[in-house]
Amino acid sequence: MTRLSSAALASLPASVRRPGYDRGELRPGIVHLGLGAFARAHLCEFTDDALETGFGAWGIVGASLQRPDQRDRLKPQDGLYTFLKRAPAGPQLRVIGSVLDVLVAPEDPRALVARLAAPETRIVSLTVTEKGYCHDPATGRLRTDHPDIVHDLAEPDAPRSAIGLIVAGLAARRAAGLGPFTALCCDNLPSNGHVLAGLVRDFAALRDDALAAWIEANGAFPSTMVDRIVPATTEADIAEVAELLGLDDAAPVIGEPFRQWAVEDVFAAGRPAWDKVGAQMVSEVAPFEFMKLRMLNGAHSSLAYLGYLAGHETVAAASGDPVFARFLQGLWAEIIPTVPAPQGVNLEAYAGDLLARFRNPAIRHRTWQIAMDGSQKLPQRLLGTVRERLKAGAPIDHLALGVAAWMAYVTGTDEKGQPIDVRDPLAGEFAIRAKALGRDAVALSAALFGIGAIFGDDLPRETRFTRAVAGHLDSLFRTGAKATAAALG
Ligand code: CS2
């Protein structure tokens, strides 16, 4: 079969939407760090829509910070790829044209820094996942002992980390007498622009105080709330896209129909017309972030751990189980009082919509995928909510079960005694504790609470919380996830 490419666009079936603008006219105004599936199903689609509305200074140069795979798949396709939207009523296809080129940072970090420093680069956006920020998830501060940060301080012109790259790009711009680009964080972190600004400032200050002051005075770091459920692409998806397209596409992305993007409208050098194509440009992103991180991601993580332990492979299967659907309702009832509703949003209705999205039978989002990197996710997804509920003297049973399910999961053994492939930067720490303490819920939970990067130094002292988690963990070990969730009523 012919491979998708600019030349092959003309042979697409008429039902497949394709770029309606002249890709030859595009200029690279955006560099995107971490060109994974999520960015290609979100930022790149919004940008593709915006390019339809007019002048094309906003093409995207993607950068992979680790592996060359994405570049190797996209280059032969001239950057084109299919977005397969999976609605319950059936699939819809569209070819996205906003990506112009892909660079691979480890192959030539200096070339990427030069691209960041190019006058036409006006936005540097990021989806590098939580752990890509090299920060302490509990405090949001830069980890100066992180191996990539240590490396980048020693070799500031050939950096590896997103933070090192951004600072190198800004330093080169300042040296060249250019203004800064806007650094646009699109990861699921609270106050993500603010956190990114802090990390960039801390790193820059370790290099050069004058540079840090220049960034502080001139830089722009809008906060954003990003939302779309994007499961990892499988071989079966690739085969289905080829069938529907009549062309081979090595790099399709899959996503649900729903998408949301709330962006703080503070840009240093302009932006695409994202507001004309559905993005919400707002002055305050925080209410959107709280709502999404606590209600969607908090529920996603809790359900992923419980569901995985109970043998559910996907979110749709787990949330289709009445016991876990009831658990989600109880969880949202604990979360909602901590969330300031964005203007015009009813949080109960938002929760109802989330349940329908989770249950979308056309999306196979693996519980294992969401379970990944819990140490980086728990603080903003569940633990901030726990702190507020404790302060208010309010019930935390469902939240505590979410945390206990994470603890059971990171022991690395499921309910049938089978090993779990625990992927987490702290997986080694978890394994040592699980090996030493076995299924002693009180001792094991105490040992995990001792990991300050996750729980801070306050939560281990909150006995109402620690007892609830230990009790649930004991029940998970003795009776399993389903019985424990059912017992919550
Ligand atoms: C998920 C998110 O993998 C995860 O941890 O919770 O990727 C989630 O699907 C997105 O944030 C939805 O916008």
Pocket of ligand 1 (CB under 6 A): 188, 227-229, 296-297, 300, 369-370, 377
Task: Report which secondary-structure segment, H or E, holds 354.
Answer: helix 347-359
**CA 167 – ligand 1 centroid, Å:** 28
Give the position, in ligand 1's atom list, of the atom nearest the Cα of 365: 9
Coil, helix or strand for 37?
Answer: helix
Tell me which residue has tokens 């806007």. 182
Each residue's pLDDT, cut to its tens digit, for the chain (489 residues) gives 999 999 999 999 999 999 999 999 999 999 999 999 999 999 999 999 999 998 678 999 999 999 999 999 999 999 999 999 998 888 999 999 999 999 999 999 999 999 999 999 999 999 999 999 999 989 999 999 999 999 999 999 999 999 999 999 999 999 999 999 999 999 999 999 999 999 999 999 999 999 999 999 999 999 999 999 999 999 999 999 999 999 999 999 999 999 999 999 999 999 999 999 999 999 999 999 999 999 999 999 999 999 999 999 999 999 999 999 999 999 999 999 999 999 999 999 999 999 999 999 999 999 999 999 999 999 999 999 999 999 999 999 999 999 999 999 999 999 999 999 999 999 999 999 999 999 999 999 999 999 999 999 999 999 999 999 999 999 999 999 999 999 997
Atom of ligand 1 nearest to the CA of 377: 5
According to DSSP, the β-strands at 253-255 and 81-87 are parallel
Ligand 1 centre from 263 Cα, in Å? 18
Is the pTM higher than 0.75? The answer reads yes
